[in-house]
Structure 1
């Protein structure tokens, strides 16, 4: 998918002398203010292969009842959003191909996002400075993480940190809302009256993983930064809460960890979306839930270790030693 396209693009950039310069992007992004940016090294931003909107974000998706859904395997991952009202599940089988869903939940405009290359699944409030934004997929990557853009100003946003990095909204931060990845069986059993996003009307092989074997790779795709410390594999999953990260392996061994003001629990039964050709057949990586001392869900991310180290180089590794 991305790999074949990228090999040719990288060669073209180097040959053309446009490497590391925003000038290369201006023809595709004439409405983006490249003079305003927090990016210090433009070499970090690469094309992921598809052009702007080549991966189409979804807007105002349809939902169906739990008992109307028959396509999703029991262990397939979904992103769960429980904000007042009726709980909603956003299946990764769809987000793998679309990466962003612009929705409104209980009156709140939200962006449900998934970056396959970082395994990062985050939900944001789309309101910034009183303005409701809608997001699309730029086709760009930075530290192998998706760069989103807002359609209103065509500013660029870093998905992993929810922050504007190029254009009008440089430095602005999106509010991260509590959501989490779990298996379809977990969601549907706990929420029999919940809703699940219906299959989008695009010609995609939903349920197939186009990144087959990725989370067993030794090196991330299009990443040239430092590898994680402490002997942690680059594509090992970690649970990030704020600027701290807990290795998934530690949680799988312990079942539950209580420290730094949070309670993190692990439960078997969720398939990796980045393992086998069919997501439903992926190996069991387990599900994470993060709550505070009062039992309230806490915003967090389950991402690859290399991405955590790239965006939080001074972050605290919670190794439990």
Structure 2
């Protein structure tokens, strides 16, 4: 294991991973109501290394016109958000890798663009829930290797992969997923030559470098001790999750479109893995996914690692070839 993960692994080997418990975490989180929780096994929650806000979320980002952006390679992944009444926006994964959450407002809708590198989970949520607009940060905690977010308004904890409150006042609340997708910068600019792209944040980070070099070629996930996926599916194989169904990406390549369970999933080459080579643009081609319904409308989905799908949807349906 190399890069950032290697350094964290050494630190944890020396100190031991910090196990979560209400009694322990309440000192770090005095304003979180630990009496409300859906977590049954606190051993699932670990410190990922950085403390609360050690990975700084971005709020109110600035944007450039796509034609003015010269730093992003054509094959680098971006998260695309196309909202009615708003100009298309691209959130480069080169920034999300280091910040994991972007709080933004698009077309009057408060959104949280999120990316958990350890699960390859990229989801955009509506930040409005239970009559409030929430602002999200990175807790520094992991559950089944997935980022636990928190909201600054109630200090509740949220599971990023599920968009669900798991600790605190917002336990049981669910964020609405918005139909966004990950594609190459070239794909975004070809469709939206005058679109907007998030500007480089004002932090001292080596943007474009992958601190998780070689991660998606590993045999086991980082800080994960749960069950491995069934059907012989490798833990870090990418799957397309739509609701509680998962389609392995190995079904695509020779086939570029699959229509099943009321959705059409299309795959196109040209997007680099953000979790492979030391520089994102040098990552192997994993392609881009788009999911639409029978009327051609974009459907909320996630392209995540198989182990994470199995951890959070243990009774989910695996859409395997016949």
TM-score range (shorter-chain normalised) is over 0.9
Instruction: Name stretches of at least 5 consecutive residues in structure 2 with no aligned partner.
Output: none
CA separation in 2, counterparts of 1:6 and 1:24?
22
CA separation in 2, counterparts of 1:174 and 1:317?
24
* 1:82 matched residue in structure 2: 82
* 1:264 matched residue in structure 2: 265
Distance 1:67 1:20, change over 3 A: closer
SS of 1:252's partner is coil
* 2:208 matched residue in structure 1: 207
Alignment size in residue pairs = 318
Which contiguous aligned blocks of 4+ residues in structure 1 show a shift greater than 3 angstroms?
A: 2-14
CA separation in 1, counterparts of 2:159 and 2:217?
25
Distance 1:223 1:107, change over 3 A: same
CA separation in 2, counterparts of 1:199 and 1:300?
26
* 1:293 matched residue in structure 2: 294
Instruction: Name stretches of at least 5 consecutive residues in structure 1 with no aligned partner.
Output: none
CA separation in 2, counterparts of 1:119 and 1:6?
19
* 1:68 matched residue in structure 2: 68
Structure 1 position 4, deviation (Å) = 3.2
Over the aligned positions, Cα root-mean-square deviation in angstroms equals 1.2
Paired residues of 2:66 and 2:196 also in contact (CA < 8 A): yes
Q: TM-score, normalised by structure 1?
A: 0.97
CA separation in 1, counterparts of 2:117 and 2:234?
17
Q: For 1:87-126, what aligned pairs fall within 5 Å after superposition?
A: 87-126=88-127
CA separation in 2, counterparts of 1:12 and 1:281?
34
Structure 1 position 252, deviation (Å) = 2.5
CA separation in 1, counterparts of 2:9 and 2:135?
27
Q: For 1:216-235, what aligned pairs fall within 5 Å after superposition?
A: 216-235=217-236
SS of 2:258's partner is strand
Structure 1 position 2, deviation (Å) = 4.3
Q: TM-score, normalised by structure 2?
A: 0.96
Distance 1:27 1:9, change over 3 A: farther
